[in-house]
Amino acid sequence: MEQKKYIRNFTEEAREKQKQHLNEIRQKAMEKKREMKEITLKAKLMKLEPKIELAKKYDEYISNKVQEHQEEIIEIQKPKPKPKKKIIYQEEEDEEEEVVYVKKTKPKPQQESLEKTLYKSSQETLFNRAIEERIRANLTGYYSAMMPREY
């Protein structure tokens, strides 16, 4: 079997130099690739930093809200004052009647949070819009039913 003949007649030294040159190029390419990976990772981290800060702010907001909510619960769980009873004795023909009047106090409406009021208002607007749509559909249906038809 005959050996392959190379188009270019390189000597062994030239081939070794070429291999070394290619290896150097590969090493430089690998270093460049590592640098590019680092750059892309840094860029991704730079994009993530504002999101991470927002997440931290959100966590702080929720923890503060939970603490406020717990304080509200503590305030709500105060014992209710007992209603005052007025005892009035009436004398009627040698009989004593005991009449007890209990004065009921109306609970003061608590101020709702902004979220609850916004939720309720949006719920009411959706409900009103649905009612208006039904009315409009009924009116157009009745109107078309009342119109004379030509055959």
DSSP-derived 3-state class of residue 110: coil
Distance of alpha carbon 35 from alpha carbon 28, whole angstroms: 10
Amino acid letter, residue 138: N
Query: What's the rounded Cα separation, in Å, for the pair 92 and 65?
Result: 61
pTM, full prediction: 0.30
Q: For each of the chain's 151 residues, which pLDDT tens digit applies?
A: 556 655 566 688 888 888 999 999 999 999 999 999 999 988 888 888 888 888 888 888 888 887 776 655 555 566 667 767 666 655 555 556 666 666 777 777 777 788 888 888 899 999 999 999 999 888 888 777 777 777 6
Please provide the DSSP assignment of 60-95 as one string: HHHHHHHHHHHHHHHHHTSPPPPPPEEEEEEEETTE
